[in-house]
Structures are given as C-alpha cells and as structure tokens.
Structure 1
Amino acid sequence: MTFRLSPLRIVLVAALLAVVVLGAFWALRANGPEDADADAKAAIAAAGFSAEQEEAIGLIVRQYILEHPEVLPEAIAELQRRQTTEQLANAGDGLTRAFPGAVLGNPKGSKVLVEFSDYACGYCRQSVEDVKALVAADSDLQVVIREFPILSQGSVEAAKMALAAAKQGKFEAFHEAMYAQGRPTDDAIELAAKQAGLDMTRARADAGSEDVAKEIEANREFAQQLQISGTPAWIAGDQVMEGAVGQSALRVALYPEKR
C-alpha cells in the first residue's frame, strides 16, 4: 500500500529527518539507545503521522543515511560541539579564573588558555615549550594553569607546592623548574622550590593550607564537568582538547579568526 504526502508534509518529513538523525545521536550519547528510540518516535508522533506513514518515514530515514553516510560524522561533530558548549556554560566563569598567581603570560590578558596539568605527566612536560611560544607571540595571552594531579602522590605534592609558589608570586619559576626535574619525587619538589627562590618555611605551610586543598578539589570538579580524564587538557576558545595537541592546534583554537 502506498500513500501520498502533501507538499507541506514533504517539508515536514525533510525537517523531521534532520531532527531524527541528530536528535537520535544526542539522546543515544546522553541517555542510551532506548531513550534515543523513544525520542525519535515521540518526534514522529508529534508531527501527526499515521502508523503507515511512520513506517514509511523509517524507510526514508534509513535509505537517506545509506545514500548519504556523510551525515553521520557531521551529526556527531555537531553533537560534540553542542555538548562542549553546554559543559563550558555549566562550568561557568570560574573555569577561566586562576588561583591567584597560578598564571603564565599576562595575568590580565583578555585571551585565555586554560591548561589542566600534572607534574608527573610527560605530555605536559612536552607541552611546556608550546605554551612558552604562544605566550611569547601574544602579550595579551593569559594561560590559566589548573593543577590536576592524577598520576601519583608525587603529583599531588608538586601541585600543592606550585600553588604555594603562586602565593609568593613565583609560580612560573617553580612550574618550569619542576618540569625540568622530571619525576616529582620529594627531593625533586624540594629542589625545584629552592631553584624558584621560595621561602621554604612559608611554602611548606602554604602547601598544606585549606585554600590550596580547595583549589585542587575544584579543579577535579571542573575536570569531571568537562569529562576530562587525562593531562594535559586544554580549554581554548570554545574547544576542549586533551593530550599534547601541539602549538599549531592550540593557536587555531585560540585565534579562529586567523584560520
């Protein structure tokens, strides 16, 4: 049996096709296949199609996807863009507001790059020169370092000392000295702190302070919100990226107008 669609219904089918494809991916990612199927059926029902028309629309959608498989990666990319936008909005302005002093580059810069880092992370160490090059190229760039120690207890102790160094206005010096040391052992952390010129008595006390502990916990919460599971991770413009993505990728994300 066949049926005919009016021109208006044809337009509705075309619109519904987009809704079903993208909406199904959204629901599948967020809630699982059962909710994705339910959402697709709800959209069809809301459009006022009969059971026969619904079956035909299912065939249309399937055939369209088979003939135009490129819509799938496009839909996934759009889904990821929407999710990232939502996650960044939920994280709020606090994400780009540094712990006092824990900044590289211009602390008042209007262009902001956020880095989640761990001193035990080799890829973070590899990215140090990339960040330095970006800072050198743009005097308006502010790099907010979010201490995210996830690899070892040494990571935690190094992160605490880094924030203690920030309290003394010597974050950058410690940051570079700590990465130069390699693994964040107790001796390496102590040596990096001394190389940075820290008042060690004050630094040890600050490293154990409540506000330092709260900062590290807040960074873990930000990471959870953004579904960041490793280091380095970056927030550049409207993008969240993980891994040693390199200077070029960071530059493209920070300066989309120059693409």
Structure 2
Amino acid sequence: MTPKEKTIMIAGGAFLAGAAATALAATVSGGASIAGVSEAERTKIEAVVRAYILDHPEIIPEAMQKLEQKQAAGAVEANRAQIETPFAGAWAGNEKGDATLVVFYDYACGFCRKSLPDIERLLAEDKGLKIVFRELPILSPESEVAARVSLAAAKQGKFKAFHDALYAEGRPTAANVEKVEAKLGLDSKRIAAEAGSGEYQKEIDANIAVARALGFTGTPSWVVGDQVLNGAVGYDALKAAIADARKKG
C-alpha cells in the first residue's frame, strides 16, 4: 500500500467513525446530542465502529467516494455560472434545454475524440439537451493554439464545424488547424489578430481554474447537474447522469 493510499484509508476510517459515532450516540441517548453521551458509552460506540470497519474495510473507499461527490457538488454549485455559460457559440443542442451537459476537452486528447460519437448520439436522441464545450488545453502547446482558434471559430459562428473537423484530421498540428480554417472559410486574418487576445487567455485560465476546483483528473471531464465525471465514461453513464440531473431538477 502506498503512503497516499494509507492516508486515504486512515482519513476514510476517521470519517466513518465520526459519522457512525454520532448516529449511534443519538440512538443511545434517545436523540440527545453527542455531548450528552457518557465516556463509557462513547468508548463502547467507538469499539463497535472500529470492529465494523475492520470487518468491512470495503466501505472505506465507498465512503470516500461519497465524500468526494459531495465536495464536487458543492464546487459545481459555487462555479455553476462559469461552467454552464458557453463562450460565444461553443455549444450545441437545445439552447433553452432543460438539462445541460458540459464537456471539458483537449484537441490532443484521444479519449476526447473517442467520446465524440457519444455526444452526437445524445444530441440526436435528446432534444431537450444542451451541451456546452469548454477548452482545457493541458496536453501540449499545440493544444493551446488549437483552443484559441476554436474560440475564434466560436465567435464566427462555426464552432461545432471546426470542433468536429479538427478532431477528424487527427493531431492539432499547425497544418491541420490551417487546413480546417480554409475548409470552413474562417476569417484567418481575424483569427490571427485575435489569437493572442486577453479574452481568449481569460477563458482558458478560467476553465483551468474550474478544472482544479472540481478535481478533474484529465480530459475529457464532464459536469451535469451536481455531478462530475472524469474520462471517456461512455454513452450510458452520460445518459444516466443527465437523467439524474433532470430528476433532481
């Protein structure tokens, strides 16, 4: 077991012990606060909790996962406007939809490319869904160059066309980016003039800050409702998360 894993296990045990002790104490004392529990009762409670954890260590990672989900939900709520408000035209689907799925991606990310069919299927089947695309160029310098051109394409009303076409070309090399620009008839002079703008840098920096706040582990990462999903989780997981977000309102 690594030091990090030991730390997680210890933290998880402490979390469970505290929660269980509080619940059991309330029962023992007839609903009174933990402060009303005697030292002898507290000792008995702690012994029961410790024995349970030792007999069922599998509940520790489950409890930690629940805690992480709760923390992520709080971070999502605190940053919801920044997360769900698209940059210019960097969105697809129903603008007034009743559910919003946000994907953070990198043009150099193979798993992001792998997720494209899932996105298209969701858009085709769910007419009440809005998908917001957020640039998270963290894999290479090429990623950031492509991200800036993508933002420029969004301002020119051709985001989705650029997004899909660049992924279809493969790596976000300068040659591939220029090829897609020409293919879509984008204003290259305007792109060159805007590429280094503070507006684009602000957008990218804000996305990176949100990614850190939400504990993303890479790309793609997804936000829907109060849930955060990391990786190419697949169509079924995304659909389930969207359904859950709708259920919670």
Task: Tell me if both proteins adopt one fold, taking TM over 0.5 as the criterion.
Answer: yes
Deviations 1:33-83 (A, max 9, x none): 7xx69978x968952344433322221212233455565455334323311
Which residue identity is paired with 1:145?
Answer: F
For the aligned residue pairs, the C-alpha RMSD in angstroms reads 2.9
Query: CA offset at residue 196 of structure 1?
Result: 2.2
Aligned to 2:187: 199
Deviations 1:80-119 (A, max 9, x none): 3311221111213221010011112233333211000000
State whether structure 2 residue 67 is matched by structure 1 residue 79.
yes
Aligned to 1:59: 47
Q: Mean Cα displacement is larger for which, 73-82 or 171-180?
A: 73-82
Aligned to 1:3: none
Aligned to 1:174: 162
CA distance in 2, matches of 1:150, 1:69: 36
CA distance in 2, matches of 1:92, 1:219: 12
Q: Mean Cα displacement is larger for which, 100-109 or 185-194?
A: 100-109
Query: CA offset at residue 180 of structure 1?
Result: 0.9
State whether structure 2 residue 11 is matched by structure 1 residue 28.
yes
Query: CA offset at residue 146 of structure 1?
Result: 0.6
Q: Mean Cα displacement is larger for which, 148-157 or 243-252?
A: 243-252
The correspondence for 1:157, drawn from 123, 145, 165, is 145
SS at match of 2:95: coil
CA distance in 2, matches of 1:204, 1:190: 11
Which consecutive residues of structure 1, in runs of 5 or more, have no partner in the other structure?
Answer: 1-24
Report 1 or 2 for greater relative contact order, CA contacts < 8 Å, sequence distance ≥ 6. 2
Query: Alignment length, in residue pairs?
Result: 229
SS at match of 1:229: coil
Contact 2:16 2:63 in 1 (8 A): no
Query: CA offset at residue 153 of structure 1?
Result: 0.3
Which residue identity is paired with 2:11?
Answer: L
Which consecutive residues of structure 2, in runs of 5 or more, have no partner in the other structure?
Answer: 1-7, 26-32
CA distance in 1, matches of 2:84, 2:184: 25
Distance 1:37 1:251, change over 3 A: closer
For the pair shown, the structure with the greater C-alpha radius of gyration is 1
Q: Mean Cα displacement is larger for which, 160-169 or 242-251?
A: 242-251
Contact 2:72 2:215 in 1 (8 A): no
Contact 2:91 2:130 in 1 (8 A): yes
Contact 1:85 1:238 in 2 (8 A): yes
SS at match of 1:255: helix
Contact 1:118 1:231 in 2 (8 A): yes
TM-score (norm 1): 0.78
TM-score (norm 2): 0.81
SS at match of 1:145: strand
